Amino acid sequence: MADAPRKAPVQARKARIAASVMATTMLLWMGAQLLGGQLGLPVRYVFLFDLAAIAALVWALIVTYQVWQARRAERD
């Protein structure tokens, strides 16, 4: 239990990074969709933006799950 106070700031930092990635990803994705429509980009390029956004959101989901599991284990 002595490691718990030291791990809390690390977990909080990971959670903040995951939240920032989620928010930034959504803003960039919406901007890319708008820009792709305005520029008339082919669908295959716009699909790449979708895949990049999915990859970033999956990464953030994994990090969020890790933080949740660590806090749950810390509590028990």
CA distance 25 to 57: 7
Question: Does a structural domain hold residue 64?
Answer: yes
- pLDDT for 74: 86
Range of the domain at 59: 8-75
Question: Does a structural domain hold residue 53?
Answer: yes
Q: Is the pLDDT of residue 69 over 60?
A: yes
Average pLDDT over residues 47-67: 97
Q: Output the average pLDDT for the chain.
A: 91
CA distance 66 to 30: 27
Number of domains in the chain: 1
Residue pointed to by tokens 């030291």: 6
CA distance 56 to 37: 22
Average pLDDT over residues 9-17: 93
Question: Does a structural domain hold residue 18?
Answer: yes
Question: Does a structural domain hold residue 2?
Answer: no
Q: Mark 42-71 as b/e (b = at least 16 C-beta within 10 Å).
A: eeeeeeebeeebeebbeebeebbeebeebb
Question: Does a structural domain hold residue 1?
Answer: no
Question: Does a structural domain hold residue 3?
Answer: no
- pLDDT for 39: 92
